[in-house]
Amino acid sequence: ANQARVASLQDNINRPTRTISYPKRADGKPVYTSEFFGENVFSLHQIAKALPKPAYASFLKQMRGRQALDKATADAIAHAVRIWAMDRGATHFTHWFQPQTGSTAEKHDAFLTLKSNFTSNGEEVTAIDAFSGSQLLQAEPDASSFPSGGMRTTFEARGYTVWDTTSPMFIQEGPHGTSVLYIPSVFISYNGDALDEKTVLLRSTSAIAKSCSELLNLIDPVPVGAQPKVSHVYTTLGTEQEYFLIDRSLYSLRPDLKHTGRTLIGNLPPKHQQMDDHYFGRVPSKVMATMSEAELELFRLGVPIKTRHNEVAPQQFECAPIFEEASLAVDHNLLTMDVLSKVAHKNKLKVLFHEKPFKGVNGSGKHCNWSMSTDRGENLLDPTVKPETNYRFLLVLVSVLHAVQQHGGLMRASIASSSNEHRLGACEAPPMIVSVFLGEHLTEVLNSIEEGRPIKNFSVPEIQTIKFGGTALDVKVASLPSISRDLTDRNRTSPFAFTGNKFEFRAVGSKQSPAFPVTILNAAVASSLQDVTAALREQMGDKPYPSDADKVAVIKKFIASTKAVRFEGDGYSDAWIVEAEKRGLPNIKTSPEAFEQLLNPLHSDMLTKLGIFTASELQSRHLILQERYAKDLLVEATTLSTLLASQVLPAVFEYRSSLAQAISLLKGIDAEDATPELSALRALTPVVKELQAAVDNLNSAVHKMHEVGDDPVAEAKYACAHVQPAMTEARAVADKLEVLTADKYYPIPHYSELLWF
């Protein structure tokens, strides 16, 4: 292997695993996780302590109504949070927000302020620490460098970040024992347009809360004049985060990983994931060190990370939190990604969130487990023991089916990106067609209702436990306890699957913020709940509330109308593609096409009617997505072309010249002696020429993309149709050369080194 690769492999081998000290008591015993969980969060409890009772009551009201805070309350909170944060080393504060870049943004300001006193001796300047209510509530970062999709022209580039009181403030530790106070915020324009992911997410959670409460209060009526039984409905979200962790020094030798997050060339090693020996295997110690250090920080930040394990591909891992209210869960997922990156860096590792960092092995997703819950904590997607007569559950269930039926295309758009494009439809990733998997039991429940017959085969107590040791053959396991079984089996191939008491949106990419897909899902279901409520009202006529028969009639109606989106079979199979087309389900293959769904009146009318997006917000988002796609591809193409021209080809030339030298030396002895080297050289020649041609072709595709003009939509389309294939073609040739070139000359780490370090 070449010197840089050898040096970095040696460095990796000789490097001790980093150790940190987990919190300990004075007597040396460990502090329990539950005791330091959330210690870096300024909780509601602390706000309560800081405010007089009536002020706290009004804060709660404002928080739930999502109104602006009054100045006196804001000042009191600002003061309390500054003291709390400064006592924990904070020197700065920042509004922390989510522009449409796929990541978070922050700009730090010191608490330090100068105060002038004018006395008879002239001006006296004193340094003080201060943080006012208005600084807490609002900041004005220069918005002109964030994507706006043409919504802001530069002369009105103002944007505001405003504290989102539904998400608590927290501190993050920095270097030298200092820290920074983070204020979760929304980001809006001078005119109040959403420039970020959070604003629309909050709008969507309000919309679904409203539609869902209306349905629940209609089917579960309260006496006239009494308070509605359900006053609020939350969407709940648990994000399973998949990622790769690789050695950082090897990573730094791969310009493609550095600039694009994925490898643009490279062959699989002979052994990769075929043996299924990585999934749930023992976590490698360097990785474990990173995971648990990240968890320690996340626990302090109040992020309830619950699960960690090896994933299917070599060097692929997953973590998952306990689910929370959706917008908090989104913040927590973004924090998780942030903390993982930071801690991996300290451990000399690099975390890759890209959906497909390595061709040929599994990519990474972010399964978004989603449900709705009432303010009394009842999960609305809990089928309970007898789903067939649980009409509330069934009405909510058919609402979700109806949402996918109506807006599956929009859901597809919400998970589209240049990076997810490489994952979807390949290597155990869900296909591009959005369908719903319900499992055998619920399918039978719906079929029996549709056919008006009793439900068969599902005596629930039996299917809910699996008994060990019932038969003579099982004697050995008779000591194991009986275990309970979920109401659903699993189908890994479905993009949107019912898993026990929630839906799992699995097509979501590992790199993207869950905010947009969850916003779209919330919106689609909010609208669908309205349709179901309207159908119920129509069915019940002038009765004050619907009878069970009315409910069944409506459930039946929606079962019938949503049949096309239900699919229990193998979503990876070619037969499904044919079948889906027969059913009229959209099969949107490329991202630029998917983004167009945002402007399709079928979806855009729904989004604007619910007040989740304005028409101009949608137009701008559409442009931002197209533009990002085009830019992603441009960066990839130029990275690849440079890598091939400046590293791969020169390395092959060097190898060729060493062969040529050997040939001329050997010929001096006997022409026959030179034939093996000669044939190695001759095998290379046509492939080298092919690669040169492929690089030229790639460069000309990039060049032509610039000529398309200043139109993001046309650029994205062009990139998808011409730049992407030119890259694929160049890669195929480069991968042939990787095998033909002596390892010693090959300039960048192979997959075999990156994936097995």
Rounded CA-CA distance 281/318 in Å is 12
- Residue 371 vs 491, nearer CB to ligand ADP: 371
Rounded CA-CA distance 573/92 in Å is 54
Rounded CA-CA distance 522/233 in Å is 12
Residue 168 near which of Mg ion, ligand ADP, none (CB within 5-8 Å, type-dependent):
none
- 209, 220, 325, 410, 621 from 217: Cα distances, Å: 12, 5, 21, 29, 35
Among 321, 425, 431, 514, binds ligand ADP (CB under 6 A): 321
Number of H helices and number of E strands within the chain? 26, 20
The least distance separating ligand ADP from the CB of residue 442, rounded to whole angstroms, comes to 16
State yes or no: residue 320 binds ligand ADP (CB under 6 A).
yes
- Residue 141 vs 514, nearer CB to ligand ADP: 514
Rounded CA-CA distance 274/276 in Å is 6
State yes or no: residue 272 binds Mg ion (CB under 5 A).
no
- Residue 501 vs 658, nearer CB to ligand ADP: 501
Rounded CA-CA distance 232/509 in Å is 30
Residue 238 near which of Mg ion, ligand ADP, none (CB within 5-8 Å, type-dependent):
ligand ADP
CA atoms within 13 A on the CB side of 348: 15
- Residue 329 vs 434, nearer CB to ligand ADP: 329
- Residue 367 vs 603, nearer CB to Mg ion: 367
The size of the interface with Mg ion (CB under 5 A), counted in residues, is 1
Q: Which residue is nearest to ligand ADP (CB)?
A: 238
Residue 532 near which of ligand ADP, Mg ion, none (CB within 5-8 Å, type-dependent):
none
Rounded CA-CA distance 619/505 in Å is 25
Q: Which of residues 502-541 bind ligand ADP (CB under 6 A)?
A: 502
The answer to whether the beta carbons of residues 612 and 203 sit under 8 Å apart is yes
Among 207, 237, 349, 674, binds ligand ADP (CB under 6 A): 237
For 655, counting Cβ atoms within 10 Å of its Cβ (0-12 exposed, 13-18 middle, 19+ buried), the class is buried
State yes or no: residue 238 binds ligand ADP (CB under 6 A).
yes
The least distance separating Mg ion from the CB of residue 167, rounded to whole angstroms, comes to 25
Question: For residue 664, what is the enclosing H or E element?
Answer: helix 649-669
Among 243, 323, 613, 718, binds ligand ADP (CB under 6 A): 323
The least distance separating ligand ADP from the CB of residue 239, rounded to whole angstroms, comes to 7
For residue 523, the cross-strand partners are none
Residue 502 near which of Mg ion, ligand ADP, none (CB within 5-8 Å, type-dependent):
ligand ADP
State yes or no: residue 371 binds ligand ADP (CB under 6 A).
yes
- Residue 133 vs 238, nearer CB to ligand ADP: 238
Stretch that binds ligand ADP, among 6-14, 167-175, 363-371, 667-675 (CB under 6 A): 363-371
State yes or no: residue 234 binds ligand ADP (CB under 6 A).
no
The least distance separating Mg ion from the CB of residue 367, rounded to whole angstroms, comes to 5
The size of the interface with ligand ADP (CB under 6 A), counted in residues, is 16
The least distance separating ligand ADP from the CB of residue 238, rounded to whole angstroms, comes to 3
Residue 496 near which of Mg ion, ligand ADP, none (CB within 5-8 Å, type-dependent):
none
Rounded CA-CA distance 508/496 in Å is 10
Q: Which residue is nearest to Mg ion (CB)?
A: 367
Stretch that binds ligand ADP, among 237-245, 251-259, 289-297, 619-627 (CB under 6 A): 237-245
State yes or no: residue 240 binds ligand ADP (CB under 6 A).
yes
Rounded CA-CA distance 593/412 in Å is 10
The answer to whether the beta carbons of residues 80 and 132 sit under 8 Å apart is no
Residue 320 near which of Mg ion, ligand ADP, none (CB within 5-8 Å, type-dependent):
ligand ADP
State yes or no: residue 501 binds ligand ADP (CB under 6 A).
yes
The least distance separating ligand ADP from the CB of residue 333, rounded to whole angstroms, comes to 10
Rounded CA-CA distance 186/332 in Å is 15
Strands 179-189 and 90-97, by their bridges, are parallel
The least distance separating Mg ion from the CB of residue 429, rounded to whole angstroms, comes to 13
Among 370, 391, 558, 576, binds ligand ADP (CB under 6 A): 370
- Residue 370 vs 751, nearer CB to ligand ADP: 370
The answer to whether the beta carbons of residues 343 and 295 sit under 8 Å apart is no
Locate 264 and state its tokens: 């643009």
Rounded CA-CA distance 680/659 in Å is 8
- Residue 312 vs 529, nearer CB to Mg ion: 312
- Residue 336 vs 620, nearer CB to ligand ADP: 336
State yes or no: residue 92 binds Mg ion (CB under 5 A).
no
Give 515's contacts (C-beta < 8 A, 6+ positions apart): 98, 197, 198, 200, 201, 330
- Residue 239 vs 414, nearer CB to Mg ion: 239
The least distance separating ligand ADP from the CB of residue 508, rounded to whole angstroms, comes to 13
| DSSP secondary structure letters along 33-52 | HHHHTTTTEE-HHHHHHHS-
Question: For residue 729, what is the enclosing H or E element?
Answer: helix 724-740
Q: CA 531 from chain center: how many Å?
A: 29
State yes or no: residue 338 binds ligand ADP (CB under 6 A).
no
Rounded CA-CA distance 456/469 in Å is 26
Stretch that binds ligand ADP, among 152-160, 196-204, 321-329, 545-553 (CB under 6 A): 321-329
State yes or no: residue 369 binds ligand ADP (CB under 6 A).
yes
Give 419's contacts (C-beta < 8 A, 6+ positions apart): 261, 262, 354, 355, 356, 509, 511, 632
Q: Which amino acid is at 74?
A: A
Among 236, 419, 420, 488, binds ligand ADP (CB under 6 A): 236
- 136, 210, 227 from 224: Cα distances, Å: 43, 19, 9
Locate 46 and state its tokens: 């602390």
Rounded CA-CA distance 651/649 in Å is 5
Rounded CA-CA distance 520/515 in Å is 9
Residue 322 near which of Mg ion, ligand ADP, none (CB within 5-8 Å, type-dependent):
ligand ADP
Q: Which of residues 372-391 bind ligand ADP (CB under 6 A)?
A: 379
Q: Which of residues 220-249 bind Mg ion (CB under 5 A)?
A: none
Locate 742 and state its tokens: 């002596």
The least distance separating ligand ADP from the CB of residue 362, rounded to whole angstroms, comes to 14
Stretch that binds ligand ADP, among 348-356, 366-374, 431-439, 600-608 (CB under 6 A): 366-374
Rounded CA-CA distance 454/389 in Å is 11
State yes or no: residue 330 binds ligand ADP (CB under 6 A).
no
Site string for ligand ADP, 298-317 (x = CB under 6 A): ---------x----------
Question: For residue 532, what is the enclosing H or E element?
Answer: helix 515-540
Stretch that binds ligand ADP, among 13-21, 233-241, 291-299, 389-397 (CB under 6 A): 233-241
The least distance separating ligand ADP from the CB of residue 398, rounded to whole angstroms, comes to 18
- 461, 462, 479, 662 from 471: Cα distances, Å: 19, 16, 13, 73
What is the chain's Cα-based Rg? 29
Site string for Mg ion, 345-384 (x = CB under 5 A): ----------------------x-----------------
The least distance separating ligand ADP from the CB of residue 266, rounded to whole angstroms, comes to 29
State yes or no: residue 242 binds ligand ADP (CB under 6 A).
no
Q: What sign for the dihedral angle of Cα 502, 331, 509, 617?
A: positive
Of 639, 673, 640, 659, the closest CA to residue 741 belongs to: 659
Of 418, 432, 424, the closest CA to residue 627 belongs to: 418
Residues that bind Mg ion (CB under 5 A): 367
Q: Which residues bind ligand ADP (CB under 6 A)?
A: 236-238, 240, 307, 320-323, 369-371, 379, 499, 501-502
